[in-house]
Amino acid sequence: MQGGIVKEPVFVLDYDSVSPLGIGKKAILHSLKTNYCAGSTITRFDTEGLPISTAAEIKDDLSNLYENEHEGIKITASYDRKLELLVAVTNLLKPRINYLSKFSSSRKGTILGIGIDIFDFKNTNNPITNYIKYPLMENLSKIHTQYGKFNSLMNPIDFATLYLANTVKAGAFQKSILTACAASSQAVAFGADAIRKGKTDIVIAGGSDSLLNIVAYSAFNKLGALAPQTDKPHKMCTPLDIRRKGTLLGEGASLIILASQKGVEQSGIDPIFEIRGWGNTLDGYKISAPDPKGIGMKNAMHNALLDAQTRTSAVDYINLHGTGTYANDAVELDSVINVFGNSAKNLMVSSTKDRHGHQISAAGIQEIIVLCLAMEHSFVPCTVNCEKPIYENGIDIVLNENRSVDLKNCLTNSFAFGGVNTSILFTKV
């Protein structure tokens, strides 16, 4: 209760992911427990001529996860990697969410953080014309949905969210968020906000993205944001380390099922976590670098704690945004120390981007999945490749090996291009 207003609680019923760390929660948990880092030589496109040829790539064939989908979906997925990843994780989760049929469509919503569209140059001589005409115009127009309208003349970004809405029969809303590295975390926060405000009882939130194409990869290389090539690709990204030189690009898709108290009761499913609070800020300092004073980062974390009515001393662990870039990591750690004050020395923090890469629009939800697994199985994943941390004192950066510890209240940070900042506080039920 805050200011005399009773807040509707928001619970997590389930979650899953397709990730460079594995397909599904069990495989990802194993990778986390064994400190596997997915950085390896790119196979999705020809890297000849590029100075860097490493990423965190999903090597598994995902087609078996959507072999029963509409033919138009399968063809489109062969062109659009982020849709393929979303369809795969949706079908991975589908057998466990039959309880969603108990809810009217007007009480279910979908919201996703989605990456921008990239034309598939290798499949056509005239990429723009043919991409719009085929398969989107010829196949997607055949797919009927009563839960939203797909406009093939506009950017087809909304189709992924409409696909998900159609699959789970969600008619309350279907929203797409394009705020880069914070997109899928904002999807979770905005989905939770819709439940809190009584607009819906169930939200399927998450995100999907892949940077493993020549256009996106070249752009990040031009920005100077990528870790330089070495003969140990799994060691290239070194978040929170004084030697850090850049991030590791990745790909993935993850979903989380959010529910109101009424939704929990109607589903018959015991909740795993409660989303207690969140903070969203915009500092707009520079398109590709954070405000060096960390003003937006600090306010996002402060607002999440305030919204959750949680003391700094009650937070056990933060999964940091921790990109491994020179600009981000020091500012983020400084911001955490500033917000948490005397509590910071007992606060465990780490970044897991050296394991699964930076998935941009899917980064936040990937790290939420990692956080949920860590909380559910009582451990803190270490920053595998951090050997010489930025701070030796003042904050507990978990290094070298995972730490077995019961986690009750944990924060996750997502800080995006343009100064978009999101922090969310999860509590184990």
Rg, the chain, Cα only: 20
Instruction: Given the residues 321, 372, 386, 410, select the one marked as catalytic.
Output: 321
Classified as helix, coil or strand, 303 is helix
As a whole number of angstroms, the distance between CA 283 and CA 397 comes to: 26
DSSP 22: E
Q: Dihedral, CA atoms, 59, 61, 66, 71, nearest 10 degrees?
A: 110
- 386 annotated active-site: no
Instruction: Given the residues 358, 382, 386, 410, select the one marked as catalytic.
Output: 358
205 vs 12, 15, 68, 256, CA distance in Å? Answer: 11, 10, 23, 5
| Alpha helix positions (H), 105-252 | 127-131, 138-139, 159-168, 183-196, 214-223
3-state helix, strand, coil in the chain (%, to 5): 40, 25, 35
Neighbours of 91 (CB within 10 A): 18
- 237 annotated active-site: no
**Contact partners, residue 97, CB within 8 Å, separation at least 6:** 14, 168, 257
Instruction: Given the residues 37, 181, 237, 410, select the one marked as catalytic.
Output: 181
As a whole number of angstroms, the distance between CA 282 and CA 304 comes to: 14
320 vs 240, 361, 391, CA distance in Å? Answer: 10, 16, 14
**Contact partners, residue 187, CB within 8 Å, separation at least 6:** 111, 112, 113, 175, 177, 205, 206, 207, 364, 365
As a whole number of angstroms, the distance between CA 328 and CA 316 comes to: 22
Strand 22-23 with 39-41, pairing: unpaired
Using H for helix, E for strand and C for coil, what is the string for 393-412? CCCEECECCCEECCCCEEEE
Q: Which residues are catalytic?
A: 181, 321, 358
